[in-house]
Amino acid sequence: ETISVIGLGYIGLPTAAMFASRKKKVIGVDVNQHAVDTINKGGIHIVEPDLDMLVSAAVQQGYLKAVTKPEPADAFLIAVPTPFKPTKEGEVPEPDLSYIKSAADAIAPVLKRGDLVILESTSPVGATEQLASWLADARSDLSFPQSNDDTPDVNVAHCPERVLPGKVVKELVENDRVIGGMTPKCSSRSAELYTTFVTGECVITNSRTAEMAKLTENSCRDIQIAFANELSIICEKLDINVWELIALANRHPRINILQPGPGVGGHCIAVDPWFIVSKTPDDAKLIQTARYVNDNKPSWVIEKVKRAIADYLLNNPTKSAKDVVVACYGLAFKADIDDLRESPAVVITKRISQMHPGSVIAIEPNIDTLPIELQDIKLVDMNYASRNAHITVILVDHGEFKDNFQCSNYLIDTKGIVNGRLSIEI
Ligand code: SAJ
């Protein structure tokens, strides 16, 4: 049995490597020639713990190869991006399924009777049916599932990925898997495939429910974080330590509030709720509001920094604005990873540097060089920052920051590293 994985990114590559580690023949397909070349040399083009060993062993033993054009296989897993279409301010973002369409067009010519096609990309409800219909358009000589009791030539299912960046290799194996076949046969074929390496349970449903399940998980987390973020804004007004408050409330046996922060980043939680909202805008009120709450948190943090700079200058009349050094701790989108994409910490640091040019320093222990958009900022170590900063802004709760944090009098602590110490004792 040969398995083909279309899209060798954060989900596709670990999945391909995992099948290969179970001695399945895997053909990885990606349009990015650099990624293909890197993988064929046994290397990886993304950062994820333990993935390098897995890929290099798979390539060396001959179970994994990467190509730019699909080849015949028995199962095709599609793990391509599902971003938004460009939107204007205030508009509900619409999903862009063009990568799924391209993947369908690319695999259609090599499909044969009995093949299985699985969509793993997080997708709006109905995308799997759309995929089946694109495949049917491209291959009129084969039948594809249309209704639940079909027996099509090619089986199609949605099995959404649910792994946590930074823990992908472990979670791929251990998490339960939602298997949403377009027909019962599509589901049983898919479940059988995943049991190759999944030790969690493979739970069967239909494709629309599987699509919605994935969106529901991430929307639920977004709403819970929005609640914590809203509390942090309310507590500031009422002069209450939000970290202590949450720790106290969480002592209740049925309460488990998440932690506030500078906003919600990453490629999933801030994106997926819109896939629900764009389908049912009038009914998805809570989901939409949570998005606005979380998206507005960076501006609230920036306002606090502005006020701190003004206050510092008021209390130090001999100083001018350019003398006030602002240290931003953390740039990644969450703790203990090096991924700066879609990071509220980057947005905040960039905006502070625009309003306060030349005097912003950043501390990000997980990277060596700053991205081009942050070129005006100096990357320094914690030691330098604690000696030179007048205003300290904590944006990420990296492990390195947690012990013995030394900071200036002016502190904006969005992650409770200093202000949350009290709550640890509760
Ligand atoms: N965050 C908070 N407070 C919290 C927890 C998180 O502000 O208490 C912030 C983080 O700092 C980060 C953002 O939320 O900016 C997202 O981080 P995350 O750890 O909640 O999630 P991701 O984006 O790394 O991964 C999520 C996971 N989904 C869920 O936990 C429901 C993962 O399982 C999914 O596979 C992944 O999205 C995905 O690919 O969809």
Which of the residues 24, 214, 297, 334 is marked catalytic?
Answer: 214
Residue 426: per-residue pLDDT: 62
Read off the pLDDT band of 415 (50, 70, 90).
very high
Mutate to test the pocket of ligand 1, among 164, 217, 224, 257 (most ligand atoms within 8 A of CB): 164
Q: What is the mean pLDDT of residues 246-274?
A: 96
Report if pTM > 0.90. Answer: yes
Residue 232 Cα to ligand 1 midpoint, Å, equals: 19
Give the best-scoring range by mean pLDDT among 228-232, 374-378, 415-419.
228-232
What are the structural domain ranges in the chain? 2-200, 220-425
Per the structure block, which two tokens stand in for 191? 């479940």
Residue 164 Cα to ligand 1 midpoint, Å, equals: 7
Q: What is the pLDDT of residues 310-339, one digit of tens each?
A: 999 999 999 999 999 999 999 999 998 888
Whole-number percent of the chain with pLDDT over 90: 89
Residue 14 Cα to ligand 1 midpoint, Å, equals: 19
Q: How far apart (Å, rounded) are the C-alpha atoms in residues 32 and 29?
A: 9
Residue 424: per-residue pLDDT: 61
State the ipTM, two decimals.
0.97
Task: Give whole-number Cα distances, 382 to 262, 355, 386, 389, 403, in Å.
Answer: 20, 23, 6, 10, 11
Which of the residues 186, 202, 268, 328 is marked catalytic?
Answer: 268
Those residues whose C-beta lies under 8 Å from the C-beta of residue 17, and which sit 6 or more positions away, are: 26, 51, 54, 55, 58, 64
Q: What is the mean pLDDT of residues 219-226?
A: 98
CB 242, CB 231: distance < 8 Å: yes
- 185 labelled catalytic: no
Residue 221 Cα to ligand 1 midpoint, Å, equals: 7
Residue 43: per-residue pLDDT: 96
Provide Rg for the chain, Cα atoms.
24
Residue 316 Cα to ligand 1 midpoint, Å, equals: 41
Residue 106: per-residue pLDDT: 98
- 159 labelled catalytic: no
Residue 41: per-residue pLDDT: 97
Q: How far is CA 112 from the centre of its chain?
A: 34
Residue 49: per-residue pLDDT: 87
Q: Is the pLDDT of residue 422 over 90?
A: no
- For the CA atoms of 280, 286, 292, 294, the dihedral, rounded to the nearest 10 degrees, stands at -130
Q: Between 297 and 93, whose confidence is greater?
A: 297
The pairing of strands 155-158 and 177-181 is antiparallel
Question: What's phi and psi for 412, nearest 5 deg?
Answer: -115, 105
Those residues whose C-beta lies under 8 Å from the C-beta of residue 107, and which sit 6 or more positions away, are: 4, 6, 70, 76, 78, 117, 135
CATH of domain 2-200: 3.40.50.720
Mutate to test the pocket of ligand 1, among 267, 269, 295, 423 (most ligand atoms within 8 A of CB): 269
Superfamily holding 220-425: NAD(P)-binding Rossmann-like Domain (3.40.50.720)
| CA-proximal residue: ligand 1, atom 10 (nearest) | 334
Closest atom of ligand 1 relative to the 122 alpha carbon: 40
Same fold, 2-200 and 220-425: yes
Read off the pLDDT band of 425 (50, 70, 90).
low
Q: What is the pLDDT of residues 54-76, one digit of tens each?
A: 999 999 999 999 999 999 999 99
Residue 163 Cα to ligand 1 midpoint, Å, equals: 10
Closest atom of ligand 1 relative to the 263 alpha carbon: 7
Read off the pLDDT band of 419 (50, 70, 90).
confident
Q: Is the pLDDT of residue 306 over 90?
A: yes
Q: What is the pLDDT of residues 148-172, one digit of tens each?
A: 878 999 999 999 999 998 899 999 9
Residue 61: per-residue pLDDT: 97
Q: Between 317 and 46, whose confidence is greater?
A: 317
Ligand 1, CB cutoff 6 Å, lining residues: 122, 161-165, 217-218, 221, 225, 258-259, 261, 264-266, 268-269, 333-334
Computed over every residue of the chain, the mean pLDDT equals 95
Q: What is the pLDDT of residues 140-151, one digit of tens each?
A: 999 999 988 789
Closest atom of ligand 1 relative to the 175 alpha carbon: 33
